[in-house]
Structure 1
């Protein structure tokens, strides 16, 4: 079982892809979470993720594995963006995509709408609604803002499979257990309106929005996804430790709303503990499976030290590049397959145990959690 051959793979959190041709530098720039140009003499291809791209993607475009970055990019241009995208997504072998629609561009180019992504992939594509995007579009007066946000979120989430928060980016994950008082929310909404409706970053409004999501999701039977762990430079890493959510998790527990901790790295062991300790908490490794390259099996093993097998989900968190879907899927299959082969050889589990665990993480857990 050196490479997992899961019968199906559900990507429970991702973004759409760019359909347009990308310049080489723009494409390479999507192989890093940084939004800055690389340092002189450095390339995003010279990384664990870059190695993984050169390992898994060239065969999908008719090249040998580990071909040079220059040759890979030349072949991609020769095929054209549309054909390269089709081949790479087909090779990823994903059955279902749950897409966060809060991002609409990458490298200055439009991302494919969900209907077009479904057409390219031939897979089921469902929407994950981003809380902050919905709230930022609300134009109500300050006194009416709390009600209007609740109604807007309920309407947006009615056809979705989940909602998602980027609280980690906006203020950090240390959400208090108490709901913000109504008067404080109205006052904060007034300050934001007077400031020109800038990006939602006020902690009072963010925490009110999170609790509003709990109420809406309790009514609709939807999970809440939360970004945790590493990301782009807009994030302060230590504020994205999922253990900072513990007080909020305890307070939200009576609602029964599932909370899904995305990505987590380098706090994946904290996320695993939360998933073990609280019945409604689930977690994944997300884009970590791509970025850790040849260390993916080790990181998966660290997550599975504590995470219940029924609480860990596969996702790519792919954004912009079809390569990222293929790399994440291939890394996951290879890494989990290798880890379970070691467990089986050591006598830690049976072959039936390994196959069952793999099926749960690859698709079964997501199908149950999101009622797919």
Structure 2
């Protein structure tokens, strides 16, 4: 079992003056939600997510050795243009990970990043963005430490990504990823995400996620503030226990392919997440009227057709519509006929389960 100190390097045997790497990393959608955290980005409860395939961040990291090694030195480009307002988050990330990547001040970095999904589409880009950046830094460390194993490479990449954005640790490797200690899941850890280690039924292979963009505006409450509100939340302890229970249920559901049971867990988790926000102090309602229209539409369609389609939500108004691949044609017809009207500018994104970060 890896511990925090395992990710502090002893010494480097390799060297490199300059170069560049490029990685893509996807977003992910949690089925059992992570909401509430302890110090150092440690989750208050375990979570499990589907890794997405199409919604991803592509980041190119160029680096060059330099003489002044007292401060971090980097330029940040978003879609080819300087993006000063992103720099404080990157600065904070570098400060958090320096002990694990002691070479960071030896180089000047140019970080050039872009998303495959529309900017301000309401899809969280911090998970994919931090995952892609972590993969690039690990690529550089692997040059400096050529004896590094693949297992260590991916575990440390997930560990580093977590320090940038908690859910980013689930965007590194695997199509179903668990983050957080869970007694019944082998090798699960609070420090990094792990590939779900047990059988996954054919029903869940190539699972589809169509993301309905209800509201593309700035979130009312940042994830950091939302997580902090769980510290004094009256229902926090019961919620954390519920997450463990639901994750245990999903172990059996993934094995036996029970889509009805899957729907109950996933929709309950989504609504519980929003219930936690509505009952915190201060309280928030992040769903919009059109979010509720879509949810009711999905329930009605599922009841009338018996097609196992369901929804989940992140901490916002957009709706992720989840369904097996064999239902794709009928579900997309339903979305286009009845749900697109509730999307901002009629926008939605078709995605499906993917495998994680890829070197380009």
TM-score, L = length of structure 2 = 0.29
Which structure is higher in helix share?
1
TM-score (norm 1): 0.28
- Structure richer in strand, relative to its length: 2
